[in-house]
Chains A and B, each alone.
Chain A
Amino acid sequence: MAKAPNSAQIWTSKTNAAGSASFSDRDSGFVRNTLAGLMPFAVGIAMASLLHFLLPGMVGLYYSRIVTDIGIAIIMAVSLNIVNGMTGQFSIGHAGFMTLGGYMAAFTSYYGSMCLWGNTEIHGGFLGTGEWLFVVSCIVGGLLAAGAGYVVGLPSLRLRGDYLAIVTLGFGEIIRVILQQTGKVIESAEALKTGGLSQMIPPPVGGALGFGGVPKYTNLFWVFTILTVTLVIAYRLKRSSFGRGMISVREDEIAAQAMGVNIARQKVLAFVIAAFFAGIAGGLFAHERGVILSPKDAGFQRSFDYVIMTVLGGRGSITGVMLAAGLLTALPEFLREFEQYRLIVYALLLIFMMLVRPQGLLGIHEIWDLWPRRRTTLPPTASLMHSSTMPSQESKR
């Protein structure tokens, strides 16, 4: 960022994270701009490949599994942060989106694999045909979750804070109950062909027992590639005029509306974007080794885990939430013998945070904001967002 635009330009400036604004000459800079915009993706994919090929050899399968879990948890927490942190809504049904997307993805890859190859074995190696089917099914899962996000986002236009929380909680429970009523998994390609379309109602995804037999495609490469995409999009969203609109909705809905922010659109889109990434994370989760997707995953307990990550990390801070998601996923693995105290510690942490540091570990800052820097003036978003440490409009009765 060469020059911080003044506050009057906040709503029109389209500066993004990659620093493309520093290319002042638009015409000749187009190619360079595009390349600079793609840089984070290239770096992320390179890092994902490195992790994929080196990590299992270095630390063994058990710890690579934990790293995979951390990646999925970060996708979930960062996407939930778009709704809870940036837009200031309060969703506690995020695991519902995840499980819905996961089921859809598993359905697509399981039965797609059966239709294409006649069995549900893993097809192709690294970046082979099977993995592309897996990616497509994750995206299908994400799209279904995004549709559900639209439906859940609609009541948010009329409901504030705690009412919305209940609706999202109810949504997760409804998903759980509905998934429990689904039919048995069809075991073989012959049965799939002879059974006809009628066996698709209710969808054969395993009912209360869970969806077993899904091909286990998830690996470090795909988790961290998708994580990169999620992070870049979340970060650019935060710095875009659209993201600032979201932040303004969080700070004061009435003022935002008066400034011409379409709060209905901001809220619903926040839900749709967050649900899309949650659905993809669900797809990754469903194809992970050692995981059997079950309706229980849609319940509120899992949703609370992600809420705790966003609250702990700081509402609106992407790096803070990443940090919290990583810590809260890794720590229980190393403290196995204290398993029954895990949630007690989480609960105390939540209460303690709210009493002592309600803005979360990093608050609204990103981790690099903590380093001393030469900049003399604060970036425009910072001045806008600093007010979140003040009691907001909501506290007035």
Chain B
Amino acid sequence: MGTLFRRLWHLLRLSRHDAELREEIETHRSLRQGQLERHGLTSRDAAEVSRRVLGNVALAREDVRTGWTLRSVDGLRQDLGAVLRGLRKSPGFTLVAVGTLALGIGANSALFSVYNGLLLRTLPVKDPGSLALLGTGEWTYPIWQAVNRRSSELFDGAFAWSPDRFDLSPGGETAFVDGAYMSGRLFDVLGIRPAHGRLLASADDDINRGAVVVISHRFWQQRFGGAQDVVGRTVALQRVPFTIVGVMPEGFFGPDVGRVADVMIPFGAEPLIRGNSSFLTGHWTWWVEIMARLRPGQTLEQATAALRAVQPQLRAESLPEGTPSMLERYMTEPLMLLPAATGRSDLRGRFETPLVAMLAVVGLVLLVACANIANLLLARALTRRHELSVRLALGASRWRLARLLLAESLVVAATGAAAGLVFASWSSALLVRQLGTWRETISLDMRLDWRVLGFTAALACLTAIVAGVAPALGVKRVAPNEALKDSGRGIAGDRRFAIRGTLLIAQIAVSLVLVVAAGLFLRTFTSLSRVPLGFQPDRLIIASLNLQSRASAAGEAAPLVERMRAAAAATPGVTSAAVSTITPISGSGWNAGVGERSAGPPDRTRMTWMNAVSPGWFQTMGLRVVSGRDFDTGDVPDGTPVAIVNEAFVRRFLADRAPLGARVLAGGPRDRTDYHIVGVVSDAVYRSAREGAVPTLFMPETQSDSPATSLTIATAPGQRDAAQRALASSMRQVDPSVAFTLRTFDEYVHASMLQERVVALLSTFFGALSLLLAALGLYGVVSHAVNARRTEISLRIALGASASSIMRLVFKRVGLLLAIGLVCGLSLSLWASPLVQTFLFRLDARDPVTFTSAVVVLTAAVVLAAWLPARRAARLEPARLLREG
């Protein structure tokens, strides 16, 4: 151990060590000279004799050095030095190789850091390994209360929370902040200490004990400039003043991953915000997440068993109302604990599969990049054949030469990986920003950690091996004699190209797979965005109203909404405004069964989507009333229930009847309403474009129980932006206490196709990248081959070969490689494409058009890449070659 340490120390001060040794030996010599002088020699003779007897000092120094350094380490140092000198001498090669790998490795690291941040990173809390989540899905508050009462018997502690968004603005247009409701023990169980003030405790759970809030470190810095006296200040959440009692430590944003909680308030304060419609007493309102910390030594299975033992009591204490069959399911559905070291996230279900798919894609891109680097290194090794032969002839072992070439690929890969990390940290942040929509802001902790660094380092090593082995194997075939003899004058074909042919075939095959994937995803996205929505989103603005506590005051909500609507309609630039409960493709939905009630489970084929709208909503949205009438003021709350249905509804449920005047039973499992159909409107999408036009039943919002608080506003062409600004002030004047959020309809469309767009974008980018890399690789190889055979080609031209026959010569070989590559790529794509079928929209995973186009694109790229060097070959001048010798 001590020896190793001394060796390292020596390595660090290598030059100093040499100088010291020289000085020591010089002292030795001068002492000898002194003695010789004392024996009677002249000073000059003594100096000469002493120097002569010194012997071979250089050899001694070498001996000393080999004594200190391990030979292999020193050899590696020499190799690296040689490689760095070589790379510095060919900046073009270095730039292309490092750049290619930076992109390839960077793309992998970027996606991996997103994957790591979303799925692998543990929560920044005390002992995350012993956390468990009550799975799966949300729970009601009464269930949490029942669990909480037993939490000290069952676990080391438990807490609950529920993510939400809060409006910070005092009135008018909303300014949301992400936050959460939480139970008092959250910080205690997670072991979080305040950065400032105090955190919430169990005492804060009491209902109406006080409106207190704990803010995140980031929120403290951004909103309060890190003020020291922040504790005691107030912040308004949903118009309710909350007193700040403390600041969370930096880097902690709650137990949700991908979503930050900047403000955390106790469940007890929830009624202050939701008023009479508080969720706390809701036995059917599933909105709470429950997490527990296991006792030391307690396994997940033991804890789950303990929980199941008290399940009947837990369920009984929180029993909701409902039909016997519903209650039966409620009682018996088994409780289960899931490991929660990495926290909880809704994003996982949505993004895990696309992320893994994209990781596979970028892995393939990296393979193509590796093949390119291998080709470049091989080309370098071939041009250095002469040098390598001399080294071999001088006695270097083949292993030593192979090591030199491997060191080269290692240096290139390591540099590429370092540059890739920079690219990754930038592009992963960009990617995560792309995933955010109006509905949620996604925020992932993607700081470099050992996993990302390890992943990148592993990729670099793998790249070095994959790219470096081919040239290193090539060394075995270098025969010093021949290489020294022919030095570029060879006429016969070169066997060494066989290995490069294989690389090219692999590149073409992998690129074809990626281009096919890009084609499938791109076509999915374009056909999805071409689905007729049934309305014109580019003119529309949606205003979501939040009436706060006034919504609960009976009879007050509807007139207030009507005043807001009237103000919006009167705003300059606005052509009309109407009210609805649901905004199409906003993600929310409301459905009902159609026809006679049946005792069995709801029949999926007899379901319709529902909406409650005000008169004029169809016209505002741009839907046509095909027959019958729109709603009007005659449709009063207590009047006959009337409904307007869309054409899809007519096709599904009323195909055999005249729709106008028909009567339809629709509603929940126990309460069906008898609707008189008074009109039919044109089709439109409801929840998402993927579902297309679905049966929809509209009722007048005056006859609906649920409040309609979504304003649909149509603007004059080209005036939407101006109208949006005008709306913000005109609506605020109606009642400053009403909060509202204005969004263009495009934002909803954008959010509804988010996954498809991101996947199409990424796969197109990577498909294009891989195509470019493959084309570059082929170009390089063909150029090199033409160069190596220029003697032969010139000879052929001198003997009368035409330009076209030379081109044929080149293309014959390229064509063969292309054909084999395409066959491999096609079979690979045909095998792999069904894996993405679920993601595609109105497209077969083996869509012939996509496959044919991919083949055409790839062939075009390959032909272009080969054509340039082939033309150069055809234009070779034999005379020039003769002159140059």
Pair from one complex: no
Chain B: residues with CB nearer than 8 A to chain A? Answer: none
